[in-house]
A and B are shown apart, each in its own frame.
Chain A
């Protein structure tokens, strides 16, 4: 079956760095997305990785290792507004987008 695993919840301190991991087992791979979702709101796009390596975009970076079926989202200089759920989603061989359950990130002052 197809599966995406990410931690249910993480806590971090304002100003710190946090890494949210995602592992996947899917039938084929055509890219991995990270989305941010604040409670009661729609997901918003953060990043897309299809090749191995690190993609940096401001305070957020996303890493992919296709051989390990692994990605992480790195958030630096955490702000209170970063408190949200972070969703990992993978496109499989049929170009179907498979969603993880999301990681709820709690930022403390």
Chain B
């Protein structure tokens, strides 16, 4: 069964360092997402990506963050100058829009990767 894969599974970094989290979405999916979940808290939307550009982003996704699809398979989240409060589990997700909905991405099931745990010291 196709799955979303993420690397690394766990990364420890020093405050102020740059981090790149990598994701390989399911190959025929068109929409890609990054979410984060601080330990014990709710899942938070960061950004969605379609047709090689950001389609939506939350207020959390400020200039510190960027996303890129450098080739046909990888989808990366870059966090510049990490802060202590960036420590969280970062989930990548992808989906294929339901044709009946006219292609809206949020009526389709989200497939999540297993997450990358980021610890900022």
Contacts and interface: CB of A to CB of B under 8 A. Distances in A.
B34 to A, nearest CB: 12
Contacts of A96: 45, 56, 106
A55 B68 CA distance: 38
Category for how many chain B residues contact A: 10 to 19
Contacts, number: 52
Given A43-B91, A100-B42, A101-B42, A95 B106 contact: yes
Interface string B52-80: 00001000000000000000000000000
Contacts of B111: 45
B11 interface: no
Given A30-B104, A95-B105, A96-B56, A45 B45 contact: no
Contacts of A35: 110
A30 B42 contact: no
B45 A101 contact: no
A87 interface: yes
B43 interface: yes
Contacts of B91: 42-43
Interface of A: 30-31, 33, 35, 40-45, 48, 50, 87, 89, 91, 94-97, 99-102
Interface of B: 41-45, 56, 89, 91, 104-107, 109-115
